[in-house]
Amino acid sequence: MESTMIAIELTGTVDEQRQLRLDDLLPIPGPKRVRVIVLYSLVDEWNETEWLHAAARNPAFDFLKDAEEDIYSLADGRPFHGEV
């Protein structure tokens, strides 16, 4: 019997005890056995450009390319210039 695998991408941190701590809850009911693939960078931190590039290529955000998701225009809101 062939099984279909579903992929979920989340971020997390490996702590001092080498335990993986996810930033969010998994969107699946448990208990359930899962397979985990860990991707990490050889450098300690990604810069903002690397995060944006990774998010832009991630198919999880493809729905944002749909015309019905484009609900804002330049006339909406007020400019933000870093003031608090």
**Domain boundaries of the chain, sorted by first residue:** 12-69
Q: What is the pLDDT of residue 24?
A: 87
Spatial separation of the C-alpha atoms in residues 37 and 27, rounded to whole Å: 17
Spatial separation of the C-alpha atoms in residues 44 and 41, rounded to whole Å: 7
Residues of the chain short of pLDDT 70, as ranges, are: 1, 83-84
Q: What is the pLDDT of residue 33?
A: 92
The amino acid at 25: L
50: which 2 tokens? 């690397």
Q: Look over the chain and give the mean of its residue pLDDT values, rounded to a whole number.
A: 84
The predicted-structure confidence for 57-76, as pLDDT tens digits, reads as follows 888 888 888 888 888 888 88
Q: What is the pLDDT of residue 60?
A: 82
Spatial separation of the C-alpha atoms in residues 59 and 70, rounded to whole Å: 17
Spatial separation of the C-alpha atoms in residues 10 and 25, rounded to whole Å: 9
Q: What is the pLDDT of residue 17?
A: 93
